[in-house]
């Protein structure tokens, strides 16, 4: 089992797990990434994410769903995404989410991709609710649940001020608004999701947490994956 992959999974999965939205109880297990076996047991109980990790690993011929390349493909994006068959992904999701409705994924066909952006914008019901009623809660959830990029402007204690571009709903399109600064967490009780943080760092945000410090190519892949997903759904104008 990959220690690096387990630690990467923990960083991205902790924010929604702490909120009780995804995964099993006791999110604090993900704040101990050095305990790879504990993280693996926890990760297997993420109903959505584990399904994608298994499929990505199988398609790449890798024995470990927590291989760092597999985990990066799901949360950030890399070349492994191109090895997964959309039809196989949809079949796997139909098995995993049998009897569950609400999203648009069952009709996704060629849009299906083993990336977190597909889970957020198609498997979860929020996009359909937003399109149907322009519901403000739906927009907020989509904005927070996606992996978004930002730049750290200041750090104080266990919080940081980060500048990022929010999603806005025009009534027919999801577009990116002007950069805004928000106060987010990067550490709790002395335990953090990243080893350190400083002004100017390019970061990934998930809910109200800084979950990773990114390279420019990684940030570009996150942004490109989201743009591809929304364009495929006809929700954004370029």
pLDDT of residue 5: 96
The whole-model pTM stands at 0.95
Both structure tokens of 160: 């940081």
pLDDT of residue 96: 86
- What structural domains and CATH numbers belong to the chain? 3-96 (no CATH), 147-232 (2.30.30.140)
- 92-140 pLDDT tens trace: 998 888 766 678 888 888 899 999 999 999 999 999 999 999 989 999 9
- 190-204 pLDDT tens trace: 889 898 899 999 999
161 burial level (CB within 10 Å; 0-12, 13-18, 19+): middle
Both structure tokens of 167: 């999603």
pLDDT of residue 90: 93
Low-confidence ranges of the chain (pLDDT < 50): 237-238
């Amino acid at each position: 089992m990959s220690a690096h992959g387990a630690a990467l999974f923990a960083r991205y999965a902790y924010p929604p797990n702490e909120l009780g939205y995804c995964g099993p109880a006791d999110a604090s297990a993900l704040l101990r990434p050095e305990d790879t076996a504990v993280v693996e047991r926890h990760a297997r109980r993420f109903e959505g994410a584990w399904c994608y990790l298994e499929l990505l690993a199988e398609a790449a011929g890798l024995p470990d769903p927590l291989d760092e390349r597999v985990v990066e493909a799901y949360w950030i994006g890399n070349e492994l995404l191109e090895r997964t068959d959309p039809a196989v992904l949809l079949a796997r999701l139909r098995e995993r989410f049998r009897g569950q409705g609400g999203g648009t994924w069952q009709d996704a066909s060629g849009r299906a991709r083993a990336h977190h952006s597909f889970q957020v914008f198609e498997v979860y019901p929020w996009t359909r609710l937003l399109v149907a009623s322009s519901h403000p809660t739906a927009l907020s959830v989509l904005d927070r649940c996606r992996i978004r990029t930002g730049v750290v402007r200041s750090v104080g204690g266990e919080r940081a001020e980060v500048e990022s571009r929010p999603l806005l709903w025009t009534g027919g399109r999801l577009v990116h608004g002007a950069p805004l600064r928000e106060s987010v967490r990067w550490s709790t009780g002395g335990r953090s999701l990243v080893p350190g943080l400083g002004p100017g760092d390019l970061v990934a945000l998930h809910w109200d947490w800084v979950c990773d410090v990114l390279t420019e190519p990684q940030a570009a892949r996150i942004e490109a994956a989201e743009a591809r997903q929304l364009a495929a759904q006809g929700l954004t104008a370029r």
